[in-house]
Every structure is written in structure tokens, then in C-alpha cells.
Amino acid sequence: MPESPEHIFLSKTALEIMENASRSRLFGYTEGQRKRFDFSCDLKKDWSKVVAGQTLWRHGGDGIDKDLRTLLHEQDIAAAVYIARHESSNRARLAEVTQDYLKTMRESLTRLRVFWVPADFDADDESARKTVRNLLREEITKDLLLQVALGGLTPQDVTRFAASRRPGLPLGIMSHVKKHGYRNHRHTAKALGIDLNALKLETERLFVLGFLRSDSLQGGDYSVTDSGNAMLDICSRLHNYLHGSLGDGNKNEEFEHICKLLGIDYPSIPTTTRLLIGEAEIDIQNPTALLLQHVAQADADGSVDWSEPYFDLPSSSDPSTG
């Protein structure tokens, strides 16, 4: 059976949303070969995570079982995306199938992300296309990209990170751990040129917040988590903003959209705002202002290796790359 216009539009739109989001420069994007899936792509940072998906429009019933089996048995994908027509029969069948998988493939099921599209969607209607595109953009960014590309970072994580009373130090610690590892408190305090007690308290705080991990429940021998790396990347782009080099006109629409989903309204803080300790003129109840203060102070202290932006990579389907 040939693919419907709705099926084609939804599959193409999912890829466009992820490719456009990569313009935030928080991750790279490469479109993958379709092979067994309706769409697939590779999101890249210092890792590579494959996202693959199926689109359900005309077929239902056993087709749902087949789609999920195809998705969930693929071990190499980080996220299995299912874009489906919102009908009661489809929802009921999906619930039945996933209930079965809970018994046999619980871990694989955690990779599944389902996005429902109104049943009356008509791909020939320009207004409907715009509405559905906006709906998918919001949901895919929040429920897929923040989880996969940004390590599950949440607005609460950002607020708690920004609430540290030691401006710049959390970023300095994470940057040091990422580059050099963490041998022990004393060695790291000496390397960073900071008070030992302050280092202990801030490192333990980062561990509790989930930005650092350790094989020991008591801490020690730390490494940076996925959400910690995402925070470093976001702060690096905020560093670009403070230096007027975020993008054309110091603007980046996709980065701004992702930041707002995380509760970061950085355009509300002018780049001329005094942020450094001793001269700050910021609202200490404003998480965005406090986060920018961390960035500005770490920059002034020279304690962070700011990550470079992640740029688009050639598409695997581009014949010029062969």
C-alpha cells in the first residue's frame, strides 16, 4: 500500500524538527538511511545516539504490533519514536502491546516515545500542517531531545544548579572533572586554586543534583553525567551570548527555544548587565540571572574550557559524502 500524504508529511517533519533543533549548536545531526524504519537520524556530541521511528496513519491493529516489534528489537537505537494517529482503537491496541512488552522487554520499552496526531489531520490543509508541525516540535523537543541529547535535563535541575552561592565554581569543577578527572578533594582544590572546604561542599552538591556521578555511593572518583555535560554545553552557548557571538545578531532561535523549555530566558538579561561578584546588579531570585552570573564569573576566573558549538554534519544520504 502506498504511503499516504499524512504519513509522508509526519515522517519528514520529525526529521526536520530534529535537524532544525541542531541549529542550537548543542548537538550535531546526521540523517540516517531508512532501511527498516520510516525515519532515522544520528544525534552527535562526544557520543553518537541513533533515533529511529515509525509512523502510523492508515494501518492499525496488527500493524502496531509489527511497528513496535521492529523498533524495540533494534538494540542500537537510543530512542524509538512512534508517531501515531490519535484514535481510540489505536490507543487501546498500543496499550495492549506495550503491556505485553512490560513482561518481556521492559528495558527496551523505556526507549519508546509516542507522539499522537489528531485523527482528522489533513496533509493537504496548510493550516493543519502548521498546527501539527508546531505540536510535534514542542513535544519532540521536550520529550525526546531534552531526554536524549541533553541527558534528561529539567527546569528544576537548572534552577538548583543556578542556586549555588559560589558563582562560577560549579562550572569550574565540572570543566576540570571532564578534562582531568577527579583524583581527590585535596588535589582538585589545589589544581583549581580554591578553598578545600568550598570544593568539598560544591562537589557533593553537584553529585546530589546529578551533574556528577561516582561508582561509590559516598562519592569520590567523580565523572560528569550526561546532564552535567549538557549544562556545560548550554553555559558555553550562554558564554557566546555574553560575548555577542551566539549567532547572527547574537541570536539563535532554536537555542532560545530549548532554553525557554528549561526556564532560561537569557534574552531578558542584557549583555551589558553587571554580573561579576562585587559589582553585580542582578535579581538574586532570578535563576536565569544567577546562571549567567556563573558563566560570567567562571569566564573571569579562567576556570572553564568552554565547549565549541556542535555543527551540522554531512547527511549519510548525501551522495557528495560518499
Which parts of the chain register pLDDT below 70? 1, 34, 60-62, 217-219, 312-322
State the CATH number of the domain containing residue 290. Answer: 1.10.10
Q: Using one digit for the tens of pLDDT, what is the confidence trace for 278-315?
A: 999 999 999 999 999 999 999 999 999 999 998 754 44
Residues 120 and 245 in one domain: no
Same domain? 81 vs 182: no
Which residues, 6+ apart, have CB-to-CB distance to 163 below 8 Å? 287, 290
Q: What percent of the chain has pLDDT over 90?
A: 76
Q: Provide the whole-model pTM.
A: 0.90
Regarding whether 90 and 183 lie in a shared domain, the answer is no
Q: Alpha helices of the chain — where are they, by DSSP H?
A: 5-21, 62-72, 88-104, 106-109, 126-140, 146-148, 155-162, 169-180, 185-192, 196-209, 226-242, 253-261, 287-301
* In a shared domain, residues 129 and 144: yes
CATH of the domain at 64: 3.40.1350
Q: Which of these three, 148, 175, 209, is where a domain ends?
A: 148
Beta-sheet pairing, 77-86 with 112-118: parallel
Task: Say whether both 165 and 109 belong to one domain.
Answer: no
What are phi and psi for residue 250, nearest 5 degrees?
A: 60, 35
Q: Are residues 61 and 80 in the same domain?
A: yes
Confidence at residue 312, expressed as pLDDT on a 0 to 100 scale: 53
3-class DSSP assignment, residue 209? helix
With respect to residue 192, please indicate whether it lies within any of the assigned structural domains. Answer: yes
Q: For residue range 18-74, list pLDDT tens digits in order.
A: 999 999 999 999 998 767 899 999 999 988 999 999 999 987 666 898 899 889 888
| pLDDT score at 317 | 39
Within a domain: 321: no
pLDDT for 76 = 87
Domain boundary among 103, 122, 148: 148
Total structural domains within the chain = 2
In a domain, 311, yes or no: no
166 in Cβ contact with 297 (< 8 Å): no
- Asked whether residue 309 is domain-assigned, the answer is no
Q: What's the farthest any 2 CA atoms get from each other in the chain?
A: 69
Residue 236 phi/psi, 5-degree rounding, is -65, -40
Q: Find, among 183, 175, 233, the residue nearest to 206 by Cα.
A: 175
Grid cell 499524512 in the structure block, residue: 6
Q: Is 169 found in the same domain as 295?
A: yes
44 lies in the same domain as 135: yes
So what's the pLDDT on residue 311?
76
Q: Are 42 and 29 contacting, i.e. CB atoms less than 8 angstroms apart?
A: yes
The residue whose grid cell reads 523537543 is 141
15 found inside a domain: yes
Domain hosting residue 79, numbered range: 5-148
Are 291 and 254 found together in one domain?
yes
Q: Examine the domain organization and report whether 167 and 245 are in the same domain.
A: yes
- With respect to residue 313, please indicate whether it lies within any of the assigned structural domains: no
The domain boundary residue, chosen from 87, 122, 148: 148
* 158 CB-near residues (< 8 Å, 6+ apart): 231, 262, 263, 264, 287, 291
Query: Given CA atoms 169, 173, 174, 180 in this order, what sign does their dihedral have?
Result: positive
CA atoms within 13 A on the CB side of 64: 21
Residues 213 and 96 in one domain: no
Asked if the structure places residue 11 within a domain, the reply is yes
Q: Are residues 159 and 46 in the same domain?
A: no
64 domain-assigned? yes
